[in-house]
Structure 1
Amino acid sequence: MKKISILLVVAAGLFACQSADQKAAPAMSIDAKDAAKKDTANYTTIQWLDSTFKDLGKIKEGETVEVSFRFKNSGDKNLVITNVYASCGCTVPEKPEKPYAPGEEGVIKAKFDSRGRPKGEQRKTVFVDATTAPTQQHQLNFKVEIE
């Protein structure tokens, strides 16, 4: 009986978090993102609020570090991040799922896992595809030194 109660509490907590997240920022469907990519008349502009290159310093082999790149929709149409991917499997980016209104700010986050990576400097790239003009692909770069 005790195990069932614990499971119910955990399940309720997970459901509550999911419900709150969905209310705060509704995700776009894949079809809606595809339609936004094709609608070039509604492209906007993006401003990277920090540098698009970050030096994360030194870490020990086996550590995981997170990097964040802040942006702002600097145009007059909704900004849709259609895809986010990394240059290799050791870096896992998070893709924002909601559209950003003009003037709204957001963050692209990625985690770099140094486990099994060679010692020395590592340079990685996170690619961001968005409904932006004049280019739809943006590169975010970081480096880390593994000791």
Structure 2
Amino acid sequence: MKKIILSLSALCLVAFTSCKENAAQKIEESNVAAAAERDAVSSKFPVIEFDKKEHDFGEIEAKTAVETVFSYKNTGDAPLVITDIKSSCGCTVPQDWSREPLAPGDSGKFTVKFNGSGSNKITKTITVTANTEKGSEIVKITAFVKPDPTKAEAKS
């Protein structure tokens, strides 16, 4: 048993002392420059700036479809990529946004359709997932949905 432990110890000693190259000498200057450039670029993010963060449809009749357009601009230092836009419920449908990168200074837009479901004051959120520093932005729609007149007549 002592011979096995002594042999393993000797083997480990040989393995650790046989590498005489210094790891710092293996680093190429071009790789250091490329890493510095990559790190500088990675700290730049796109910034999405909306023309409005909330849209109020006002009073609408129940089951009346309405829509609005949210415009945005990339005010950051890197291309903006919107990967997804989702609403808080199925009654609100975001659509027509570009999945292509949006260069700094360029603008885009997407449409939000609301089918008029619900009653009284409603607020729906739309989450825009993008490559911004926060990762997502939120815009809202609000409306006051008046009671469905056909239901009121049916009760009479």
Query: Which structure's relative contact order is higher, taking Cα pairs within 8 Å and 6+ residues apart?
Result: 1
Q: 1:86 to 1:79 in 2, by over 3 A?
A: same
Give the deviation of 1:76 after TM superposition.
Answer: 2.0
Q: Deviations over 1:25-66 (max 9, x none)?
A: xxxxxxxxxxxxxx9556311111x22011111111111111
Q: Considering only CA atoms, is the larger Rg found in Structure 1 or Structure 2?
A: 2
Q: Which residue of 2 aligns with 1:111?
A: 113
Q: Which residue of 1 aligns with 2:9?
A: none
Separation of aligned partners in 2, 1:42 and 1:131: 11
Separation of aligned partners in 2, 1:75 and 1:93: 24
Q: Which residue of 2 aligns with 1:63?
A: 64
Q: Which residue of 1 aligns with 2:129?
A: 129
Q: 1:125 to 1:40 in 2, by over 3 A?
A: farther
The answer to whether the 8 A contact 1:43-1:77 is kept is yes
Give the deviation of 1:73 after TM superposition.
Answer: 0.6
Equivalenced residue count is 105
Structure 1 residue ranges, 4+ long, deviating more than 6 angstroms after superposition: none
CA-atom RMSD in angstroms:
1.7
Q: Deviations over 1:79-112 (max 9, x none)?
A: 0001100000000111422211110001122100
The residue identity in structure 2 corresponding to 1:130 is A
SS of 1:96's equivalent in the other structure is: coil
Mapping of 1:1-147 within 5 angstroms?
41=43, 43-48=45-50, 50-94=51-95, 95-114=97-116, 117-133=117-133, 135-147=134-146
Separation of aligned partners in 1, 2:49 and 2:119: 34
TM-score, length-normalised on structure 1? 0.66
Gapped runs of 5+ residues in structure 2? 1-40, 147-156
TM-score, length-normalised on structure 2? 0.62
Separation of aligned partners in 2, 1:131 and 1:62: 35
What percent identity do the matched residue pairs reach? 33
Separation of aligned partners in 1, 2:46 and 2:118: 40
